């Protein structure tokens, strides 16, 4: 096994041009605004009375903070187009954008929380890297999800649930763009940087990255949901990779193919529980996503999207019997003579082929839609929880929620779509083996 080159060219200097993770406006970095901190400068023309004024500074302190009009030193940055806050690392680190997409209730939020939770551990333990929040305040929601899903508010035996992602509320920011009130999805930003134990110090700058991810409500991907006032899924057009989450437990063909009884209320209605389901065929949702991207990029029907699409098959714990993968071990292993692991692309591609064969049999329209429209398609099966939810007691509306005991959650392969996304785009942050 040999580690291939980690081929990212970067420098830790401030980038001349950056792309706003909220509105995707590209602008020269010297146009970036500062956010005032003086309490007397409350009120911004684009964001409203409750937000601090944004301003283009002309006076700086020696530590490069900007002084606002009342002489208070300010550190937070904002986009000149939408005035929303931009985390500092995006200014000097190469960025990597990931869209998490899929119909309602396919498991996007559980997957997102598990992926981030696992990446924080795996990057440190197996790759000598630190995966952390670019700005903990802006990532509050994902931190809450992780806390609930894995710590259960400090009692891992008390059953919990992550709520459905809303189509409005605090993960959207309202601002004026070209004079029109516009609702934008909140990006979640992280940084990846080498730890002192990282064995390739000369490469340290090259593997440092800022990661932005988006977790929308499934309804935002349904046909007709995207419009100029709520372009909440436009990140699909600018992202480096799209993770399209497909939930086999919502597909009748998959459910019928499972011969043995499954201990999951989503597969077995006899167990009770109020299971949320999408009202549309999930392949139609993929068609809608592809149509949105092609429309924005002015691509013809025949042209393929260059952005890689990873079809992430969720809730693997509920249907693994169909795939029959007895050796589904993590696709990375410790490199000889180094304290870091190496990610095995071939291993993941081999399982992708096996899943493709299964899907061709059960859901050929999904394979057809993806491969007819995207240049690179990979299939990865994951479980955000590793186990089925349990059915809780009826709430005041008589509904029986699906809950998890945090102590029982054991994610499977949730980091893999992230690592694989990087290999598909050439922006490696971990050593990769491509040939055995
Ligand atoms: N068996 C199993 N169930 C899961 C898993 N992940 C999520 N679920 C269940 O799937 C349901 C929906 O999960 P969410 O993460 O809220 O789905 P979502 O795609 O974010 O839904 P919206 O926010 O409505 O778009 C929940 O009731 C979870 O109990 C998993 O890995 N295995
Ligand atoms: Mg959600
Ligand atoms: Zn912006």
Count of CB atoms situated within 10 Å of the CB of 418: 24
Closest CA to 126 of 424, 360, 338: 338
Closest CA to 429 of 139, 122, 215: 122
Ligand 1 nearest-atom number relative to CA 104: 25
Q: Which residues, including other chains, have CB under 8 Å from residue 63's CB and lie 6 or more apart?
A: none
Ligand 1 nearest-atom number relative to CA 264: 1
CA-based angle 31:33:36, to the nearest 5? 160
Cα torsion at 249, 294, 227, 218 (round to 10°)?
Answer: 10
Strands 66-67 and 73-74 turn out to be: antiparallel
Q: Which residues, including other chains, have CB under 8 Å from residue 266's CB and lie 6 or more apart?
A: 249, 250, 273, 275, 315, 318, 388, 389, 402
Does the beta carbon of 218 lie inside 6 Å of ligand 1? yes
**CA-closest residue to ligand 1 atom 9:** 107
Structure tokens at 305: 């999207």
Does the beta carbon of 106 lie inside 6 Å of ligand 1? yes
Closest CA to 119 of 377, 424, 429, 388: 429
> What DSSP line would sit under 244-291, residue for residue?
EEE-GGG-HHHHHH--S--S-TTT-GGG-------SS-HHHHHHHHHH
Mutate to test the pocket of ligand 1, among 101, 103, 107 (most ligand atoms within 8 A of CB): 107
- How is the beta sheet containing 209-215 ordered, strand by strand? 129-133, 188-194, 209-215, 95-101, 241-246, 309-313, 377-381
**Cα–Cα distance, 45 to 215 (Å, whole number):** 28
Does the beta carbon of 265 lie inside 6 Å of ligand 1? no
Closest CA to 267 of 278, 252, 281: 252
Q: What is the pLDDT along the chain (436 residues), one digit of tens a residue?
A: 333 332 333 446 889 999 999 999 999 999 999 999 999 999 999 999 999 999 999 999 888 899 999 999 999 999 999 999 999 999 999 999 999 999 999 999 999 999 999 999 999 999 999 999 999 999 999 999 999 899 876 677 888 899 999 888 888 999 999 999 999 999 999 999 999 999 988 888 889 999 999 999 999 999 888 877 788 899 999 999 999 999 999 999 988 898 777 889 998 888 888 888 888 899 999 999 999 999 999 999 999 999 999 999 999 999 999 998 878 899 999 988 889 999 999 999 999 999 999 999 999 999 999 999 999 999 999 999 999 999 999 888 888 999 999 999 999 999 999 999 999 998 888 889 876 5
Does the beta carbon of 21 lie inside 6 Å of ligand 1? no
Strand, coil or helix: 184: strand
Give CATH for domain 92-433: 3.40.50.300
Q: Which residues, including other chains, have CB under 8 Å from residue 62's CB and lie 6 or more apart?
A: none
Ligand 1 nearest-atom number relative to CA 245: 19
Owner of token pair 């169909």: 322
pTM for the predicted model, two decimal places: 0.94
Ligand 1 nearest-atom number relative to CA 412: 31
**Cα–Cα distance, 218 to 286 (Å, whole number):** 12
Cα torsion at 118, 216, 252, 370 (round to 10°)?
Answer: -90
């Amino acid at each position: 096994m040999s580690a291939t080159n980690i081929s990212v060219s970067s420098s830790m200097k401030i980038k001349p041009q950056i792309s706003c993770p909220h509105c995707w406006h590209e602008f020269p970095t010297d146009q970036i605004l500062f956010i005032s901190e003086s309490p007397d400068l409350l009120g911004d023309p684009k964001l409203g009375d409750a937000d601090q004024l944004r301003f283009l500074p002309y006076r700086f302190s020696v530590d490069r903070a900007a002084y606002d009009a009342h002489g208070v030193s300010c550190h937070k940055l904002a986009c000149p187009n939408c005035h929303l806050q931009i985390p500092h690392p995006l200014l000097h680190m190469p960025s990597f954008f990931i869209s998490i997409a899929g119909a309602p209730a396919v498991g996007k939020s559980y997957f997102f929380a598990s992926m981030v939770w696992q990446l924080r551990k795996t990057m440190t333990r197996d790759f000598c890297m630190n995966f952390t929040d670019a700005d903990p305040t802006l990532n509050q929601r994902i931190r809450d999800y992780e806390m609930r899903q894995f710590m259960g508010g400090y009692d891992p035996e008390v059953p919990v649930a992550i709520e459905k992602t809303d189509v409005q509320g605090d993960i959207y920011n309202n601002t004026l763009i070209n004079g029109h009130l516009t609702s934008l999805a909140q990006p979640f930003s992280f940084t990846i940087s080498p730890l002192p134990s990282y064995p390739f110090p000369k490469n340290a700058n090259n593997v440092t990255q800022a990661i932005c991810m988006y977790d929308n409500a499934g309804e935002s991907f349904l046909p007709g949901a995207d419009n100029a006032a709520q372009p909440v899924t436009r990140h699909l057009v600018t992202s480096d990779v799209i993770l399209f989450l497909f939930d086999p437990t919502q597909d009748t063909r998959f459910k019928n193919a499972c011969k043995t009884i499954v201990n999951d209320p989503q597969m077995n209605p006899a167990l009770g529980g109020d299971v949320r389901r999408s009202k549309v065929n999930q392949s139609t949702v993929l068609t809608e996503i592809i149509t949105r991207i092609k429309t924005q990029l002015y691509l013809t029907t025949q042209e393929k999207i260059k952005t890689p699409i990873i079809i992430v098959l969720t809730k693997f714990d509920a249907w693994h019997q169909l795939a029959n993968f007895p050796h589904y071990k993590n696709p990375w292993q410790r490199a000889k003579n180094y304290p870091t692991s190496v990610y095995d692309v071939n291993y993941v591609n081999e399982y992708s082929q096996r899943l493709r064969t299964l899907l061709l049999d059960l859901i050929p329209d999904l394979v057809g839609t993806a491969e007819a429209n995207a240049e690179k398609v990979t299939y990865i099966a994951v479980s955000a929880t590793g186990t089925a939810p349990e059915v809780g007691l009826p709430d005041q509306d008589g509904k029986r929620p699906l809950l998890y005991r945090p102590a029982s959650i054991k994610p499977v392969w949730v980091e893999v779509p992230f690592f694989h996304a990087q290999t598909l785009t050439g922006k490696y942050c971990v050593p990769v083996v491509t040939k055995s």
